[in-house]
């Protein structure tokens, strides 16, 4: 059997469960450094897009709360 070149050769990559934390909180994803380099920018992009949409929803809700159903009179001088 060939010897491993480093400790990273013994690490399982994929989805596994840490049963000490339970079946839900123990779900763990282990990735190689190459896959992490692809996943982090994707997560960053997803969070920035979701944050921008959340801001749009907040602005719309604020508008709806402050809007009135009565007609407004505008004075033009």
Q: What would the pLDDT profile of 16-45 be if each residue is shown by its tens digit?
A: 999 999 999 999 999 988 899 999 999 999
Q: Does some domain include residue 38?
A: yes
DSSP state of 19: T
Q: Does some domain include residue 70?
A: no
Output the pTM of the full model. 0.56
- Per DSSP, the residues of 20-74 read TS-TTTTEEEE--HHHHHHHHHHHHHHHHHHHHHHHHHHHHHHHHHH--SS----
Q: Which of 50, 56, 10, 15 is nearest to 35 (CA)?
A: 15
Structural domain of residue 38, as residue ranges?
9-55
Domain count, the chain: 1
CA angle 58-63-68, nearest 5°? 150
């Amino acid at each position: 059997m060939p010897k491993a070149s480093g400790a990273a050769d013994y690490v399982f990559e994929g989805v596994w469960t840490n049963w000490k934390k339970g079946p839900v909180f123990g779900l763990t994803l282990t990735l190689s450094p190459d896959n992490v380099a692809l996943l982090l920018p994707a997560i960053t992009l997803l969070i920035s897009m979701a944050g921008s949409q959340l801001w749009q929803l907040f602005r719309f809700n604020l508008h709806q709360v402050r809007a009135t159903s009565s007609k407004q009179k505008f004075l033009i001088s």
